[in-house]
Amino acid sequence: MNRRNFIQSSAVLGGGLLISFTIPQANKLAALSQPTATSGFTPNAFLNIGADNTITVTLSHVEMGQGIWTTLPMLIAEELDVDLKKIIVKHGGPDKALNHTVFGVQITGGSSTTWSEFDRYRYAGATARIMLMQAASKKSGTDLKDCKAENGIVIAGKNKYTYGELAADAALLPIPERPQLKKPAEWKYIGKGNKRLDASVKTNGSAVFGMDIKLPGLLTAVVAHAPVFGGKVKSFDSTKAMLVPGVKQVVQIPTGVAVIAEHYYAAQQGKKVLSVVWEDGIGAQLSTVKQAAEYKKLAATDGLTAQKKGDAAAGISKSAKVYKAEYVFPYLAHAAMEPLNCTVRIDGDGCEIWTGTQLPAAEQASAAKILGFAPEKVKVNIPFLGGGFGRRATPVTDFVSEAVHIAKNSGKSIKMVWSREDDMKGGHYRPFFVHNVQVGLNSEGLPVAWKHNIVGQSIMQAATPAFGAPKTPIDSTSVEGVMGSPYLTQVPDHFVGLHNTEEVVPVLWYRSVGHTHTAYVMETMIDELAKSSGQDPVAYRQRLLADHPRHLAALNLVAEKGEWKKTLPKGRFKGIAVNEAFGSFVAVLAEVSIADGQVRVHKIDCAIDCGLAVNPDGVKAQTESGIVFGLTMALYGELTLEKGKLQQNNFYDYRIARMHESPEINVFIVDSNEKMGGAGECSVPPTAPAIVNAIFTATGKRIYNLPIANHKLIQQ
Amino acid sequence: MEKLTLTVNGLAREVNVDPNMPLLWVLRDLLGLTGTKFGCGVAQCGACTVHVNGEALRSCVTKVSRAVGQQIITIEALSENNDHPLQLAWAELDVPQCGYCQSGQLMSAAVLLREKPNPTDQDIDDAMSGNICRCGTYPRIRAAIHKAAKMQQEGVKP
Ligand code: FES
Ligand code: FES
């Protein structure tokens, strides 16, 4: 490394020790290097130890509820040996040094933060600790082997130094190659109960979200968007809007017309009286009913081959019994609690942005392009995210670009705030999907032929701006969970096909992505096969999953803890499902009853194998969260379109599960030394199928299209 | 436009506003009290819940004129040192995830706990079902309310 740069960087930060922990190549732990040239006005990925003993950890990923604000600092606290509670945490801005160690771009997503940073953050802590010990050894003339670092202090023979006292000296030392990490038996934080570091600021209103940004002279902008997807402004008249007290300016932008005012209320009042004539375009031809009919037709034909073995059609015609089903899944909105928003201030040839984003560098690049600035002239600040679920990882940077256009066209510093309605109607949905499945069974009731076609829009195609054009037309996010299903490995004749469709409605990853629909199809179909051949759904799965120990471990644990074999009181019914997603294996056991034509979910037991649970209570919290998310999706999740217009508006017609619908949830973590997976999404997929499998037991009715609320349920 | 005097968190605050402006935006955009959140604007999510004369109100649909002469308390003043039994229980049980809904959850729960110092699950369902948490922290909210009730009985003052 270039020592001069390093020292300079350290000096800038007040004589402390600064450790950057860049991994230049994906997946490989390289020697630690000096902070790379910063892009923008943003800091590098680093751990900073100040002369005043402050320890600051900059996060390469963002906190949106999933708990990495705590987990990543834990990894450093563990190896550096400091008090976790005293660490100051902050989000990093766009910076190549913060790129995802596997995905190669800067992103928080794919339930990947903990496993992908497990080594990088631990080595960052370990490296600093060694350097501090070396500095203490030098300073005191004590042999290094007689130095010990513990709880923010290095004990060197008879001398004791705080880390802060050693920071400046340590910064001058060469960086060691590959320090020794602690052994699991020595862990104080990893695998133990750790409280969230952001809990208290989130209980007294002091946590700052994008929505809460305050700047001198900041105005609020709201946007009138095209009512039909793909629509454009033909003309507009702002006369009345400009008369509303507090309204300052009305400007056209590529995606609509923005009203800028002193505050949100005035801006909304202005928007109400703004008259815009829209050019609808081809989007007006899109209606959900028509779309479903078209997709069903396509699904009855073979798509591009995603996975194939033997001859599925021939296998089916030879089977003892054949089951056929067609499944329909609606578009879904993420509906994070904090409506999308973005603050932009343009100052001469520089621009500063404040927004909750999972894709900081993509936002920076888009803003720079719109403004004709170099990317490093755009600073992106990331406050807490009021939920993400994928919506704040939009490769086309829709809401940030919109805000930048408003600031550019108006010449004002603005906070663009979307109403709940804007947020819901703003597109970037979980795609509409149809599956057509045919399964042939042998005389024992086991699947021997499986033909499966999936129809829907490609998310990866939509992600091209940030991730490059897909290398194959088989978008794994459309077929994951069917392609690679453990059940299919047993089936000698099978085919998985994909039809990619194109629509004006933009689509996006939504918490657990393809698994939101594929797990539903696989786990309800397997259940149907088991029950129709008179077999116990757990025993049937155990038989088919015999060569899949991690699926089995989760399944067996939940069956045991949830007392699968025990008879429930009258009127209660149970269902089960198991699924792998994001490298974690989750089994869900749901207990339901039926009343007034609807289902009531009383209890969910869940077992998860995510490998090492770095922060076990965090894993539990995410698992609970995913279950409630899955419950909402199962019960209510549905967006519909008529003539290109989204029919839903707000939480009264796009319902979210509430307290009184939230079941008792018990999460059991499988004691596992297997490869680490993610915890943020994996409990979403098995939740809906476990619930509808219980509904089948109660009613004898199979639900082939979600949401459940569309079906009248009658207990048998 | 009208000059109105509000009592917010014990302080008199003067604002010059359209009397129809929702209290939420007065608090957030004029008084800078951003702990109270905007989630839906139509009394569906509870993120904007504040106390007006001790009642939990949805500030997004409460006209500012209606709040004149009343005691308005926002999350910033639920307690002095983040030590209301609910806040302590929230932190103890790691309730918040993204945290965006939690101001409203706490403000609703505080009224519940005052009215029913020992709430049943049914009481919690009734009092809290107007507050959406998209992160699904409901099981922990429920547990934390029970815990806070216990703490209160053991002498922790709200
Ligand atoms: S913002 Fe007031 S209830 Fe949702
Ligand atoms: S904690 Fe995220 S919405 Fe409740």
pLDDT of residue A43: 22
pLDDT of residue B38: 98
In short, whether B45's Cβ falls inside 6 Å of ligand 1 is yes
pLDDT surpassing 60 at residue A473: yes
Q: Is the distance from CB of A634 to CB of A687 less than 8 angstroms?
A: yes
| B98 at interface of A, judged by CB pairs closer than 8 A | yes
Q: How far is the CA of B95 from the centre of ligand 1 (A)?
A: 20
Q: Is the distance from CB of A152 to CB of A208 less than 8 angstroms?
A: no
pLDDT of residue A431: 98
pLDDT surpassing 70 at residue A94: yes
Q: Is the distance from CB of A305 to CB of A430 less than 8 angstroms?
A: no
Record: contact B99-A384, CB cut-off 8 A: yes
Interface test with A, best of B74, B94, B126 (most A CBs within 10 A): B94
Record: contact B25-A338, CB cut-off 8 A: no
DSSP string computed for A396-416: T-HHHHHHHHHHHHH-S-EEE
What's the CA gap between A550 and A529, in Å, rounded? Answer: 22
Record: contact A264-B38, CB cut-off 8 A: yes
Of B36, B99, B139, which has the smallest distance from its Cβ to A662's Cβ?
A: B139
Rounded to an integer, the average pLDDT of A248-257 is 98
Q: Is the distance from CB of A661 to CB of A631 less than 8 angstroms?
A: yes
| Residue count (chain B) | 158
| B7 at interface of A, judged by CB pairs closer than 8 A | no
In short, whether B79's Cβ falls inside 6 Å of ligand 2 is no
Q: What percent of chain A has pLDDT over 90?
A: 84
Which residues face A341 on adjacent strands? Answer: A417
pLDDT of residue B157: 82
Spell out which residues of chain A touch residue B40, defining contact as CB-CB under 8 Å. 420, 650-651
In short, whether B143's Cβ falls inside 6 Å of ligand 1 is no
What's the CA gap between A275 and A282, in Å, rounded? Answer: 22
| A371 at interface of B, judged by CB pairs closer than 8 A | no
User: Closest Cα partner for B141 from A665, A659, A387, A617?
Assistant: A659
pLDDT surpassing 80 at residue A29: no
Q: Is the distance from CB of B59 to CB of B1 less than 8 angstroms?
A: no
| A658 at interface of B, judged by CB pairs closer than 8 A | yes
Spell out which residues of chain A touch residue B124, defining contact as CB-CB under 8 Å. 659
In short, whether B47's Cβ falls inside 6 Å of ligand 1 is yes
Rounded to an integer, the average pLDDT of A123-142 is 93
pLDDT of residue A44: 31
pLDDT surpassing 70 at residue B71: yes
First to last CA, chain A: 73
What's the CA gap between A524 and A537, in Å, rounded? Answer: 10
Among A69-73, A177-181, B89-93, the least confident range: A177-181
What's the CA gap between A213 and B23, in Å, rounded? Answer: 19
pLDDT single digits (tens) B3-51: 999 999 999 999 999 999 999 999 999 999 999 999 999 999 999 999 9
pLDDT-derived band at A9 (thresholds 50, 70, 90) equals very low
pLDDT of residue A16: 59
pLDDT single digits (tens) A477-522: 999 999 999 999 989 999 999 999 999 999 999 999 999 999 999 9
pLDDT of residue B74: 98
In Å, how far from its chain's centre is CA A619?
Answer: 14
Q: How far is the CA of A386 from the centre of ligand 2 (A)?
A: 7
Residue where the block lists tokens 């490093």:
A376
Spell out which residues of chain B touch residue A199, defining contact as CB-CB under 8 Å. 90-91, 94-96
Which residues face A305 on adjacent strands? Answer: A497
Strand ranges, E, within A272-349:
275-279, 304-309, 321-329, 341-347
Per-residue exposure over B1-15, b if at least 16 CB sit within 10 Å of its own CB, e if not: eeebebbbbeeebeb
What's the CA gap between A392 and A61, in Å, rounded? Answer: 13
Of B25, B47, B99, which has the smallest distance from its Cβ to A198's Cβ?
A: B99
| Cβ under 8 Å to A: B residues 27-86 | 28-30, 32-42, 44-45, 47, 74-76, 78-79, 82, 86
Among A38-52, A65-79, A182-196, the least confident range: A38-52
Q: How far is the CA of A343 from the centre of ligand 1 (A)?
A: 22
Cα distances (angstroms) measured from residue A195 to each of A121, A560, A620: 19, 29, 13
pLDDT single digits (tens) A214-237: 999 999 999 999 999 999 999 999
Rounded to an integer, the average pLDDT of A589-617 is 97
**Ligand closest in space to the Cα of B103:** 2
Give B108→chain A minimum CA distance, Å. 12
pLDDT single digits (tens) A302-311: 999 999 999 9
Residue where the block lists tokens 């501090």:
A132
User: Closest Cα partner for A368 from A355, A349, A381?
Assistant: A349
pLDDT single digits (tens) A527-539: 999 999 999 999 9
Record: contact A65-B138, CB cut-off 8 A: no
The two tokens of residue A146 are 């007689």
How many CB pairs (< 8 A) connect A and B? Answer: 190
The two tokens of residue A524 are 């309800």
DSSP string computed for A95-108: -GGGS-TTTSS---
Rounded to an integer, the average pLDDT of A683-702 is 98
> What domains can you pick out in chain B, each with its CATH number?
2-77 (3.10.20.30), 85-153 (1.10.150.120)
| A627 at interface of B, judged by CB pairs closer than 8 A | yes
Q: Pick the residue from chain A with its C-alpha nearest to B77.
A: A204
pLDDT of residue A596: 95
pLDDT surpassing 80 at residue A655: yes
pLDDT surpassing 80 at residue A2: no
What's the CA gap between A239 and A155, in Å, rounded? Answer: 73
ipTM: 0.98
pLDDT of residue A45: 54
SS3 of A681, please?
A: coil
Spell out which residues of chain A touch residue B131, defining contact as CB-CB under 8 Å. 658-659
Mean pLDDT of chain A: 92
pLDDT surpassing 80 at residue A28: no
Other CB atoms within 10 Å distance of the CB of residue A671: 10
What's the CA gap between A605 and A157, in Å, rounded? Answer: 53
Cα distances (angstroms) measured from residue A593 to each of A598, A607, B116, B138, B148: 9, 22, 29, 20, 31
Of A200, A208, A625, which has the smallest distance from its Cβ to B136's Cβ?
A: A625
User: Closest Cα partner for A331 from A633, A647, A638?
Assistant: A638
Record: contact A626-B140, CB cut-off 8 A: no
Residue where the block lists tokens 């706490």:
B106
Whether the predicted model's global pTM rises above the 0.90 cut = yes
Q: How far is the CA of B3 from the centre of ligand 1 (A)?
A: 25
Interface test with B, best of A64, A212, A337, A340 (most B CBs within 10 A): A337
Please state the atom number of ligand 1 nearest to the C-alpha of residue B58: 2
**Ligand closest in space to the Cα of A385:** 2
pLDDT of residue A19: 58
The two tokens of residue A173 are 């030392």
Record: contact A205-B124, CB cut-off 8 A: no
Which residues face A252 on adjacent strands? Answer: A257
Rounded to an integer, the average pLDDT of A687-692 is 98
In short, whether B138's Cβ falls inside 6 Å of ligand 2 is no
pLDDT of residue A643: 96
> What domains can you pick out in chain A, each with its CATH number?
3-192 (3.30.365.10), 215-281+335-425 (3.30.365.10), 300-332+429-710 (3.30.365.10)
Record: contact B98-A205, CB cut-off 8 A: no
pLDDT surpassing 60 at residue A81: yes
User: Closest Cα partner for A502 from A643, A291, A647, A306?
Assistant: A291
What's the CA gap between B88 and A708, in Å, rounded? Answer: 38
In short, whether B136's Cβ falls inside 6 Å of ligand 2 is no
Under 8 Å CB-to-CB from A272, ≥6 apart: which residues?
A: none
